[in-house]
Amino acid sequence: MCEEIAIDKNILIPILYKDDQLVAVAKPSGMFVHRSMADRSATEFVVQTVRDQLKCFVYPVHRLDRPTSGVLLLAKSSEAAALYAAMFAERQIQKTYLALVRGHTQDSGKIDRPLVSDKGRGKPATDPHSVPQEAETCYRTLEKFEAGFASGRHETTRCSLVEASPKTGRYHQIRRHLTGISHPVVGDADHGDTKFNRTFQQHAGVTRLMLAAVRVQFVHPMSKEQIVIDCSPEHSFIRVIELLREQAASR
């Protein structure tokens, strides 16, 4: 069991939930979960920061992309990490995300489209990792907007706030799936629409990926209680949604 320290106002990573096995934190957008070869200049990592806060080692149970914010589960032992990782693999843990996407989406939908894993990127077709794996994402539309600024040849800019629930955990799954149905996530530099992203940066001040993990829920393996961990989107996310709502009201 971890030895805990007092949490002061300068804490970097907010703690959302903790017990003897697990700690859930609100990962900031732009921070790696752990050290990565993707950016050797990075100096702040969720695992190291939470370890220093709680004065014990923590182990990531799953991952969130660097630009994605929201609920992240960390285990307090390698045994607990293996247990919760198995629960993710067996789809016993449900995750819910909010995403701001290009265009007006259908009221709800299911995207069932196999995806190549991270290890298979750029590999020849003969490589085992290049075989697409089962991937499924369900979504529902929460709000539709028509912003007053132009986008390309259109006088206004349409976008939607959607709730997405991945049933599998493939590499960049939500981002790739939404792009696959022509509704890329705003601010997605890897799979999104560069011109659309630039429009939102210029007119709405968007400098981040508009994707946030807002809920994780599961049955606790020991107590058998239903655990629901909610995480409000960061201010940088909420500010953009509020701006779109204000523009809708003025129109």
List, in sequence order, every beta strand (DSSP E) within 31-156.
59-60, 69-75, 93-102, 108-112, 136-147
d(CA 219, CA 168) in angstroms, rounded, equals: 18
d(CA 159, CA 192) in angstroms, rounded, equals: 13
65 as an active site residue: the answer is yes
- Please name the amino acid found at residue 80: A
d(CA 188, CA 100) in angstroms, rounded, equals: 10
- Please name the amino acid found at residue 4: E
Q: Reduced to 3 DSSP states, what percent helix, strand and coil does the chain have, rounded to the nearest 5?
A: 25, 30, 45
Which is catalytic among the residues 65, 107, 112, 193?
A: 65
First to last CA, the chain: 55
d(CA 38, CA 215) in angstroms, rounded, equals: 27
Active site residues: 65
